A and B are shown apart, each in its own frame.
Chain A
Amino acid sequence: MSRVEIIGEELNGLGMTLKQIIETNLKVPDIKEKVGRLKGSLVVREKQSGISSTIIFDEGDVGVQNDAIERPAAFIEAGFLELADISSGRLGPVKALLAGKIKAKGNLIKLLKMSQALISRG
């Protein structure tokens, strides 16, 4: 499994970006194994545009859909550059959180685990 399903209508740019990043990361065995154990939803909101996407993890299956679902397991809001820094591995999500560069809500342990699917090892 290294494909990420599109749930619902055509994805917005944020969703497409996240989808492609996760698909790339799932090619890494270590990440694939970790994602394979995850169950829950993560809403990612880009701060400037206010655009949101939801990533659904279901024990190996991953889906992305537009907009925020209600009551996700975790929520993260950041500007595109911060999201880019996190996904490229330059900025750790915890460091970003502690520095106030991102906002997070929900189950933070789950957020930290789910964010591993978004962080490139390359």
Chain B
Amino acid sequence: MAVLYPSNEWCQEWKKAINSNEVIEETGKNWGVDFNGNWLFEVTPGGGLDKTTYLYLEAKAGKCSDSRLIDDPSEVDAGFFCTGSYELFKPVVKGEQDFIEGVVRGVFKLKGDMTKIMLNARFIRAVADSLGTFESEFLGE
């Protein structure tokens, strides 16, 4: 059954997808081990979303321990912050657009230790690819 992106149900599906993915487990075994590997996604309005929404993803050693929507970005401690519009996030969630390419193009602004991103690029790609492994539905469609 499709889950609405963004929603807490969707976050839980993503967490499940991550934790059942062997590639993520293998490529991410060093992720967040000696640094803050948690992510905060800021999804800005557009494409059916009418207010800025924050998704929090806790990731360490190839596993996700928490994934949820949050109201206030200051309530979590994330090492990586990524912002982009809902309209632009949609194709990534659908698996139609490569997240890394979006970062390279500057479509998504990414803050955090880029050397960690480069060192774990295959993990980042695998996590992004996991988005397309479960069915999502979207606002405005």
Q: Tally A-B pairs: CB < 8 A.
A: 69
Residues on B lying within 8 angstroms of A by beta carbon are: 98, 100-110, 113-115, 117-119, 121-122, 125
> B interface, by DSSP: helix, strand, loop or mixed?
helix
**Assembly CA distance A88 to B27 (angstroms):** 14
A109 beta carbon closer than 8 Å to chain B: no
Known A12-B104, A12-B106: A48·B98 in contact at CB below 8 Å: yes
A54 beta carbon closer than 8 Å to chain B: no
Residues on A lying within 8 angstroms of B by beta carbon are: 10-14, 16-17, 20-21, 24, 46, 48-49, 51, 80-81, 83-85, 87-88, 120, 122
**Assembly CA distance A49 to B108 (angstroms):** 14
Report whether A84 and B104 are in contact in the complex, using a CB–CB cutoff of 8 Å.
no
A15 → chain B closest CB, angstroms: 8
The residues of A that contact B118 with a CB separation of less than 8 Å are 17, 21, 83-84, 87-88, 120
